[in-house]
Structure 1
Amino acid sequence: MPVHLVFCSCPDPETAQRLATALVDARLAACVSVLPAMRSVYRWQGAVEQADEVLLLAKTPGTQLPALVEALRSQHPYELPEIVAVEAAAGLPAYLDWVADATRE
């Protein structure tokens, strides 16, 4: 079963922690790493903006990806949250199995 890495930027540590905990509690992600102190530069509504943000890196099997994306979208405070998923090309088989096991009911 493919495992996906899902990137999601958050406005502050509290939001990041809340979302990370919600995803793991709901078994939508086996693990969510919270990476602090990132600065994003982006174009929004015609202007170049900058923001200090916190990055989430969620690990989830492909079967949970649609529900995880929807949970992030619905609970995120941004009007248009960054939610980008990348399929892992390879990994330690035991870890990939754990991701699948940790997200089962």
Structure 2
Amino acid sequence: SGSRGKKLSASIISEKLAACVNIVPGIESVYWWEGKVQTDAEELLIIKTRESLLNALTEHVKANHEYDVPEVIALPISGGNLKYLEWLKDSTREK
């Protein structure tokens, strides 16, 4: 469902909850849910934001996702292109 991922991504960006979202299509997920192994075609959204927005972003995804328990996990940014990191900060709200 490309449009769902795009719609969610656009709402995240317009709310300034992130600076950039990468939509990675063609993901096949195999996972344990409701007592059995499930397989689903999914999209992976890689969302670049500040740590202070993690709670607000998580709540936004939960409110706008069709899954009861959407995956939201945080990976820290330990460094990188300072100009990019400044842009990330300038493109997001503080909390």
Note whether the superposition's TM-score is higher than 0.5.
yes
What residue in structure 1 maps to residue 31 of structure 2?
A: 42
Rounded to whole Å, the distance in 1 between the matches of 2:82 and 2:17 is 20
CA RMSD of aligned residues (A): 1.1
- What is the TM-score with the length of structure 2 in the denominator? 0.94
Q: Percent identity?
A: 37
Q: Unpaired runs of 5+ in structure 1?
A: 1-11
**1:70 pairs with 2:59:** yes
1:100 paired to 2:89: yes
Task: Give how far 1:104 is off.
Answer: 3.2
Deviations 1:3-57 (A, max 9, x none): xxxxxxxxx2111001100000000000001111010000101100100001101
Decide which moves more: 23-32 or 63-72.
63-72
Structure 2: give runs of 5+ residues left out of the alignment.
none
Q: Using the TM superposition, name which of 57-66 and 28-37 deviates more.
A: 57-66
**Amino acid of the structure 1 residue aligned with 2:10:** T
Q: Please, which of 4, 24, 33 is the counterpart of residue 13 of structure 2?
A: 24
Match of 2:69 among 46, 70, 80: 80
- Show structure 1 runs of 4+ deviating over 4 A: none
- For the residue of structure 1 that corresponds to 2:49, the secondary structure is strand
Q: RCO (CA 8 Å, sep 6+): is it higher in 1 or 2? A: 1
Structure holding more strand per residue: 1
Q: Distance in 1 between matches of 2:8 and 2:35?
A: 29
- Alpha-carbon deviations, 1:49-97, whole Å to 9, x = none? 1000011011001122211111001111101101111111111111111
